[in-house]
Chains A and B, each alone.
Chain A
């Protein structure tokens, strides 16, 4: 494959762009990317790697501290707002929140440009419909301009959003021959697996007259659809591949994104064999249509099962189903011999002995509460004055929290410090700490160490391994393969919502170290 005319100046070039927040957090450090005519450029990285900051600079939401912008080889100032960015030919389709469901397609497409279609102070509906119809026809988006946005399938909604982005560039520049540069921010995130391929086919077809910057952390998609890919980590560009020329494996990209050598964590083989005979949880043919299908496994006492797979594989939905946050359509889930109803509320899961721990900030933590209350909320039975009268003993609460803070080395002035003011690592430790105190039979871990430093990670692993040793079963979902090596006894590969194979830790290490 060849690009249009590689010798020519690129359509867009961002050179040496840096951005610091609050004077300390270095979000972007000397990043350079180029976009050529009619190509798809992938930008990949973990959460917090700087992808979003870079995109927000390109569409004028943030101003960079440093850096240069070139459009067709000519230096231009960075845009100051999205309207200016559209004037430079750049527009973005955000991951979510873009669509207004109760607008008709043509109304949505021209939203924000109504003033161009006013005659004698009333809207020229026919003209608007014609303009909307033309762009959809040109981009071969198959939908009725008079249907409501919510009536369209999600992938078509995405296409309409892309059409809207292209249209806004044209209307802003008042021409139709510019090649629009469309930034797609995790475009497949809300889509079901079946819809993703369709969206990509449509996007590939649109390459004829557009360029795309494809921001994602879903590696297989990037590898399949991008022409070139930039990998960002901690605000720096750490890798670059021209996928039209070199052969790059998913593992290559994975390692560049995560970027940690395998020697960084000490693997402790002594802790591996604590798995009991007793079955704590059984999933059989568990199915949630469009997300995952026929998931079956036994989770033993003291065992940790890792659900491993690319983002979008359905692994997150599986663990959230077990946590009670998402229902399931078919199959069965049995916890300690009891069958779980598909639409049971999450609080009943805790009564069954299932705790859920997510690294996502504020999901299960009460941010405006002090550490002590966050730890005691799942242990309230243990801090009552007496067994019979439901009155909280504040001193018992404080002692419980102090014990946890000390054990987990949580950096905080006191147990009465509000969780908002804690660092990411300390917040996560508070969450782990409450489960350590509660010691549920089964602990679900979703991205337990996302976005925190190595020291805090080690502390959290230590606690989790200790809980495991004393008989807790766990299920892990993460983006970091090292985490599976450290915590899991069994690893299930998930792809496209289905179980691919089941591996031991040793086999898993062989596969991922390749």
Chain B
């Protein structure tokens, strides 16, 4: 008698790990079958460019979601940091990079302050900050397309090392550090604790208020860093930077297995989610599938993944 490769129980327990891996393989095989360009060298570079800045921002968001909160402002902070680079590179030179990072981290601090100190639900606090940031970005850029001419700045993302652009190594480096922080440091442990049991975390001696602020600052910092590198990759941009990002970004964190209910998952899982989401996006672009279809597909993926990962046993009422 043939024995099944995996027992049903094993499969059920490890579904959140097996699912994304199977999905990633299915996507690669599927797109490759339809369009052989997908896995060619040029195709790979397209895929890498599509996922790298995305992965950096997603790592930051993952910490927030692990904590049971949400950060809508990631994309706006990314946009602001990118635009600051292109707008002020001529005046400030490379000082613009730390400036962009400090501003995005500071805005993360404001997110955290509203959530942790004033008890505003995180979706509302970060949505509010995000709209303010969008307004500021529009004011600064006047809605025009701006081009960056500084080749040194651009080489931050576009230098090729071993056949792949440097932004890829930035992304993998950030991902490794994030994973390490989540798993091996007290900071990571506290993040899971706050997401898993808020009262228990306080009783375990964790300064919950301060920690939540720190996590929003981390998310803001990584959003800013993603923005700076994305601008180096693009070489110019307008308010439209990141316009397609929000739903795929949220979906990628959840698709990896970091449930919106908090306390589980982590950046190590987000890598797979980012691969799935950005490669579906890139694959659809290569197949010339329209933006209308893409929007529908990502909306459905985000909803489906949220249903699949939420821990219903632990949280009975969700508003």
**Contacting pair A366 B202 (CB below 8 A):** no
Complex Cα–Cα for A496 and B189 (A)? 42
Query: Which residues of chain A have C-beta atoms less than 8 A from B311's C-beta?
Result: 368
Query: Which residues of chain B have C-beta atoms less than 8 A from A345's C-beta?
Result: 202, 207-209
B139 within 8 A of A: no
**Contacting pair A392 B189 (CB below 8 A):** yes
Known: A366-B196, A368-B314. A377 touches B202 (CB 8 A): no
**Contacting pair B202 A347 (CB below 8 A):** yes
B241 within 8 A of A: no
Known: A368-B314, A390-B185, A390-B187. A378 touches B204 (CB 8 A): yes
Known: A351-B205, A368-B311. A363 touches B199 (CB 8 A): yes
**Contacting pair A377 B263 (CB below 8 A):** no
Complex Cα–Cα for A365 and B204 (A)? 9
Cβ distance A387 to chain B, nearest Cβ, rounded Å: 13
Known: A390-B187, A392-B185, A392-B189. A356 touches B200 (CB 8 A): no
Which of B189, B207, B208, B314 is within 8 Å of A377, CB to CB? B189
For window 382-432 of A, CB contacts with B under 8 Å fall at 384, 390-392, 394
Contact with B along A351-375 (1 / 0, CB 8 A): 1000010000011111111000100
Main secondary structure of the interface of B (DSSP, over half): helix
Q: Which of A351, A366, A373 has the most CB of B within 10 A?
A: A366
For window 186-240 of B, CB contacts with A under 8 Å fall at 186-187, 189, 192-193, 196-197, 199-200, 202-209
Quick one: closest B residue to A385, CB to CB?
B184
Quick one: closest B residue to A356, CB to CB?
B203
Complex Cα–Cα for A363 and B197 (A)? 8
A141 within 8 A of B: no
Cβ distance B203 to chain A, nearest Cβ, rounded Å: 5
A346 within 8 A of B: yes
Complex Cα–Cα for A380 and B196 (A)? 17
**Contacting pair B185 A391 (CB below 8 A):** yes
Complex Cα–Cα for A323 and B205 (A)? 11
Which of B184, B186, B197, B208 is within 8 Å of A366, CB to CB? B197
Quick one: closest A residue to B185, CB to CB?
A390
Q: Which of A323, A377, A390 has the most CB of B within 10 A?
A: A377
B75 within 8 A of A: no
Query: Which residues of chain B have C-beta atoms less than 8 A from A356's C-beta?
Result: 203
Query: Which residues of chain A have C-beta atoms less than 8 A from B192's C-beta?
Result: 366, 369
B264 within 8 A of A: yes
Complex Cα–Cα for A149 and B114 (A)? 29
Which of A364, A367, A392 is within 8 Å of B186, CB to CB? A392
Complex Cα–Cα for A59 and B205 (A)? 43
Which of B184, B185, B196 is within 8 Å of A369, CB to CB? B196
Cβ distance B40 to chain A, nearest Cβ, rounded Å: 41
Cβ distance A199 to chain B, nearest Cβ, rounded Å: 28
Quick one: closest A residue to B208, CB to CB?
A347
Quick one: closest B residue to A97, CB to CB?
B317
Complex Cα–Cα for A323 and B203 (A)? 8
Query: Which residues of chain B have C-beta atoms less than 8 A from A325's C-beta?
Result: 199, 203
A350 within 8 A of B: yes
**Contacting pair B184 A373 (CB below 8 A):** no
Cβ distance A365 to chain B, nearest Cβ, rounded Å: 7
Complex Cα–Cα for A450 and B167 (A)? 56
Complex Cα–Cα for A373 and B202 (A)? 16
Complex Cα–Cα for A323 and B207 (A)? 15
**Contacting pair B185 A346 (CB below 8 A):** no
Complex Cα–Cα for A394 and B189 (A)? 12
Cβ distance B26 to chain A, nearest Cβ, rounded Å: 29
**Contacting pair A362 B204 (CB below 8 A):** no
B residues sitting closer than 8 Å to A (CB atoms) are: 184-187, 189, 192-193, 196-197, 199-200, 202-209, 263-264, 311, 314
CB pairs A–B below 8 angstroms (26 shown): A325-B203, A345-B208, A347-B202, A347-B206, A347-B207, A347-B208, A350-B203, A351-B205, A356-B203, A364-B197, A364-B199, A364-B204, A365-B200, A366-B200, A367-B197, A367-B314, A368-B263, A368-B264, A369-B196, A373-B189, A377-B193, A378-B205, A380-B189, A390-B186, A392-B184, A392-B185
A residues sitting closer than 8 Å to B (CB atoms) are: 323-325, 345-348, 350-351, 356, 362-369, 373, 377-378, 380, 384, 390-392, 394
Known: A347-B206, A392-B185. 4 other contacts (CB 8 A): A325-B203, A364-B200, A366-B192, A367-B196
8 tightest A-B CB contacts, nearest first: A350-B205, A346-B202, A364-B203, A364-B200, A377-B204, A366-B196, A380-B186, A347-B207
